Amino acid sequence: MSAHEPFQRAMAVVDLGAIERNCSHLKLGLQGNAELCAVVKSNGYGHGMAECAEAAMRGGASRLAVATATEAFELRSRLPEAPILVMGALTGAELDVAMQARAEIAVWRMGFLAEISERAAMFGFRPRVHVKYDTGMGRLGDRDPRVIEALVDDAAADERVELGGLWTHFATADEDDESFLREQLQRFREVAVPAKERHRGITLHAANSAATLRGADFHFDMVRCGVAIYGLDPFGEDASSHGLQPAMSLHGYLAEVKAALAGDSVGYGRTWTAESDTLVGVIPVGYGDGYRRGLSNRADVLVDGHRVPGVGTISMDNLTVDLGPGSEIEMGAPVVLLGAQGEDEIAAEELAERLGTINYEITCGISLRVPRAYRR
């Protein structure tokens, strides 16, 4: 074995310092006293929920948001004091879990508000509710401004709950054309501004990362940033142009280096055949680790500070690369599949583009088989 035999086959390194810095940077860009809510759903976009939540709070986030009751419950066990908002829909059983976690809850139906109110007495605490207005996302929330106004006033009048917020979510904040985004903003303002006049303490919030970066018009009292806190570009281009630094890198190693003679094929289905004699490296990382099969014959990896092309079909546990004829790269050499090595870098945005998807799905998809190592 070579001098640099790695400790284990694959590892996702998460730079918590980067998350902390990304949050301070986002926070500094907010208007007035707007709060930063760090969105840590889906295991912190694959980065690790609780660790990222703690880093975000060190960086100036004052609130956290998740999608599910179970996520809130897990997060509560690590962060006993932090305000946690559950943004998603909840079944009755999930509502109980969210209440146990002392989470803040999204509401857009009278019946659900009544259910929260009834159960609140049982749990002996006064849950904060956030009324969700569907201004055009067409997903959760109610579209009727009068229903929203009534919910806001009812929640405020109900002793057993606390009116925490009024909020919406944008469908096209990441697109160049702002027209629909502005329409949604206008609809939200028409209900939100008078609601704030009636209920001074209410938190108005609308922006995801993309809207947050577009400017103060979208900030209101709080922004909900997910992708940007992990140093990913919500516009799918270049995170550094927004002063953000990617937090996750994915590491493997060359477990095998072997000669492929002209005409030799590699991997399932023989989708790649050596045109001339070359050396092939085998990296024990595959789609079982979240390195997607759709990247077969399409993505590069970094070895020895340089790009080499992935060749052949990516399998569940292995992928193969063409090291080139006469390569002196040794077995055991460290490989970077996502992130920087030497002068070069493979960004989540690059892999997403090759797959026809978004950077969110790249980091979210790194499976739990890959251990996360945290660095500060």
Q: Does 227 interact with ligand PLP (rule: CB under 6 A)?
A: yes
Q: Which is the catalytic residue, given 27, 41, 45, 291?
A: 41
Q: Locate tokens 């139906």: which residue? A: 109
Using CB under 6 A, which of the segments 143-151, 222-230, 244-252, 364-372 binds ligand PLP? 222-230
Sequence letter at residue 35: E
Q: Which of 224, 242, 251, 292 is in the footprint of ligand PLP by CB under 6 A?
A: 224
Minimum gap (Å) between residue 65 Cβ and ligand PLP: 7
DSSP symbol at 217: G
Minimum gap (Å) between residue 317 Cβ and ligand PLP: 30
Q: Which of 164, 226, 339, 365 is in the footprint of ligand PLP by CB under 6 A?
A: 226
CA distances (Å), origin 57, targets 77, 96, 232, 251, 288: 16, 26, 18, 27, 32
Minimum gap (Å) between residue 139 Cβ and ligand PLP: 9
Minimum gap (Å) between residue 157 Cβ and ligand PLP: 26
How many Å is the Cα radius of gyration of the chain? 24
Q: Which is the catalytic residue, given 196, 253, 268, 291?
A: 268
Q: Does 267 interact with ligand PLP (rule: CB under 6 A)?
A: no
| SS3 of residue 158 by DSSP | coil
Burial class (CB in 10 A: 0-12, 13-18, 19+), 248: buried
All residues at 6 or more sequence positions from 10 whose CB lies less than 8 Å from its CB, including other chains: 250, 251, 252, 284, 285, 289, 369, 370, 371
Q: Locate tokens 């990441």: which residue? A: 174
**In the complex, residue closest to ligand PLP by CB:** 226
Using CB under 6 A, which of the segments 6-14, 52-60, 74-82, 227-235 binds ligand PLP? 227-235
Strand partners, 106: 130
Cα(5)–Cα(338) distance, integer angstroms: 20
Binding mask 147-176 for ligand PLP (x = CB under 6 A): ----------------------x-------
Site for ligand PLP in 6-45 (CB under 6 A): 39, 41
209 or 313: CB nearest ligand PLP: 209
Token pair recorded at residue 141 = 């929330």
Q: Does 214 interact with ligand PLP (rule: CB under 6 A)?
A: no
**Which three-class secondary structure string do you get for 241-290?**
HHCCCCCEEEEEECCEEEEECCCCEECHHHCEECCCCEEEEEECCCHHHC
203 or 209: CB nearest ligand PLP: 209
Q: Does 236 interact with ligand PLP (rule: CB under 6 A)?
A: no
65 or 152: CB nearest ligand PLP: 65
Q: Does 327 interact with ligand PLP (rule: CB under 6 A)?
A: no
Q: Which of 209, 278, 320, 359 is in the footprint of ligand PLP by CB under 6 A?
A: 209
Is-catalytic flag, 41? yes
Number of residues that bind ligand PLP (CB under 6 A): 13
Minimum gap (Å) between residue 324 Cβ and ligand PLP: 38
Report angle CA 199, 200, 206 to the nearest 5 degrees.
85
Using CB under 6 A, which of the segments 92-100, 220-228, 288-296, 321-329 binds ligand PLP? 220-228
Site for ligand PLP in 50-89 (CB under 6 A): 87
Binding mask 84-123 for ligand PLP (x = CB under 6 A): ---x------------------------------------
Q: Would you tell me how many other CB atoms lie within 10 Å of the CB of residue 249? A: 22
Cα(364)–Cα(169) distance, integer angstroms: 21
On whether the CB atoms of residues 66 and 89 are closer than 8 A, the answer is no
User: What is the separation of C-alpha 296 from the centre of its chain, rounded to a whole number of angstroms?
Assistant: 24
By the criterion CB under 6 A, which residues form the site for ligand PLP?
39, 41, 87, 169, 208-210, 224-228, 234
Q: Which residues are catalytic?
A: 41, 268
